Chain A
Amino acid sequence: MKITIQDLTKTFPARHKGDKEVTAVNMMNIDIPSGKLVGLLGPSGCGKSTTLFMLSGLESPTSGHILFDEEDVTELAPEKRGIGLVFQNYALYPHMTVEQNIMFPLVNMRIPKPEAKERALDAARLVQIEELLNRKPSELSGGQQQRVAIARALVKMPNVLLLDEPLSNLDARLRLQTREEIKRIQRETGITTVFVTHDQEEAMSICDIMVVMKLGIVQQIGEPQAIYDDPENLFVANFLGTPPINIFKGQIKNGGVFIGDEEIMKTKHEDQEVYVGIRPEGFIYSPSGVLSLDVDHIEVMGRDKSVVSISKYSTKPTVRSIIDADVKLEDAPVLKFNLKKNKVFLFNAETEERIR
């Protein structure tokens, strides 16, 4: 099912007198093609969960429209939208067994019991928990609870599957495993899936389409790799990537991009103050390089190594450059680097928009 979000806005009234009302989502427009896995990504308070809840119908938008295929569902109650929702804390009914939990939506839809049981078993098989059907949620691990929650969301064969921070309550190892699992289930079922996360790595690794949000406003939409390679603005560049991008204060003058006194590259743009973003993997060690950095220490990771250095032009305390483990480094306090052009981004210092 295709999802169209038009001018979606949600404002919450002020909590206390004198406070301003809060705009959680501001004029959002997205088209989600059918059968895709979409990640809403952003720091907390960016409106991603509110968006998800508006898609589910639990929150009603202040203005704007939500269309499933061609049908306007903006005013439709949650249970009539044909959605499945997986909550951050799973929200399993603690007094029901796993099977009863999964069957619950079907029971409310007045589906005959034998059929409901059958479908619950199918859903349980899909998430591989068929041997846990008679347990209570309290007897399950976090990962198992997560699967039950997904099964409960899938059992009614929703047109849209919504997941709110699906991995945040899992430990690191389970997170990796579950994220593959979600991808697999999504592929197998072909259900249009929207999930919310604040973890860019998580989003990058499984999304077909990623929506980066900040303060209720969509910053960029696209395939993860495309966004990573071509960020629209400083925020997006900064938010994606581990280790994060290095950002320097710099200038464009006389057709050159300068960090301090060093000209790192040529440019056609006008003279202006800029931020220069350089991905950690964009450094090439070279004794005749264009950028010199004061080395603080070197971290050896096996496959590659990080040169952690200090620059007074960096907006962050340290600059991190990742280079191949084979590269022999000089034992010197200052190292020089050449830069990979496609890993360097320029942003206007005031608007923080990309200079292309």
Chain B
Amino acid sequence: MKSFTYERARTPADAAAAAARTPGAKFIAGGTNLLDLMKLQIETPAHLIDVNGLALDRIEPTAEGGLRIGALVRNTDLAADARVRRDYAVLSRALLAGASGQLRNKATTAGNLLQRTRCPYFYDTNQPCNKRQPGTGCSAIGGFSRQHAIVGASEACIATYPSDMAVAMRALDATVETVRPDGPARSIPIAEFHRLPGDRPHVETILEPGELITAVTLPRPVGGKHLYRKVRDRASYAFALVSVAAIVQPDGTGRVALGGVAHKPWRIEAVEADLPRGARAVTARLLADAKPTQENAFKLTLVERSLAAVLAEARS
């Protein structure tokens, strides 16, 4: 690990200002992803700003009838919150499908949103990777690509985004609240928060330098059955090959977002009108622009079957 200086931030505005004025600074909260990457020298911050002391660890009702989830709420606490389990069960389910008990006890809401890819070539510092070292090339293209993106990828990067939580938040139309170093707060719809790789795969979100996530808000509950189906190589403690977050209403209408297939949670609202027609129709439109490799073409079938299983469970 490279050497770094360390400070504890007192307020969100202080933290953002410190990040903007200090070269090579990064925020640290749970640290479960950042420290892993620092040990491998994939992340090499010169300065860490510990944000754990900021009072952002509460889940509160909003005036609109939704919930405001503080950036520092741990994944365990968010999944176990009685209001989330009752009104946003897809979020509880997605969180509980991710990581291990130990990691969920540390991992935060904001940190989970900022998880970096688990592409093995991103982790292998001996290999070219445009995300780790811009301009060096993509080893996954033409390499072992079973886990990789089938849709929304580019010539520069076919990595997937690993979060389960964010897939459920995408289905729930969550909003990411931030504070910027020069003061003003902003609200970012989660659909716009993560970027597709394009020719700059190292830029994963639209956050500006020093911008700090303070909360994620959920709109008022929409009812329906909340389901999260994750397909992976082990029954527990593994990243998704494919995951489906779905909210299905009694009349068969609803919402669907996918994990494990793209550089961000994958949802196309316009295709959801086809949900009452079944999984095949929806999948065909969701993945109409898919460009799978020979090794991950199975994900096309897996998405359709997973969605079919979810819709069957919703009807039962």
Genuine A/B complex: no
Which residues of A are at the interface with B, using a C-beta cutoff of 8 A?
Answer: none
